[in-house]
Amino acid sequence: MDRRQLEEQIIAVIKTIYDPEIPVDIYELGLIYNIDINDDHDVKVDMTLTSPSCPVAESLPAEVEQKIASLEQVKTAIVEITFDPPWDKDMMSEEAQLELGFL
């Protein structure tokens, strides 16, 4: 399996994770900034939260890590939280903005 296929699998599993306060998955919300896959299939994900005081600040990154690590092709998964740049609604996909009535 090449990196592109693995990245597509990772994105698919991330799309099963929803922000508890917003009925949209975290990928479409724009919370995933980067997915890095090395030659050994170690995966590092840079993500953010809708706010630093997000009630799932501890559980959400752990859920992302766990679901990615559960993929057969993934050796390890690490999620790093960043607030640079800060998240805002413009980072959402058009689909998410439509779903939430921003378009």
Could you read off the pLDDT of 10-53 as tens digits, one per residue? 999 999 999 888 889 999 999 999 999 999 999 999 999 988 88
The count of structural domains within the chain is 1
Domain assignment present for residue 48? The answer is yes
Closest of 56, 45, 62 to residue 22, by C-alpha: 56
Does pTM top 0.85 for this prediction?
A: yes
Residue 52 neighbours by CB under 8 Å, 6+ apart = 83
Looking up residue 30, the CATH number of its domain turns out to be 3.30.300.130
Domain span at 69: 3-87
User: In this structure, what is the dihedral angle of CA atoms 40, 59, 28, 52, given to the nearest 10 degrees?
Assistant: -110
Domain assignment present for residue 100? The answer is no
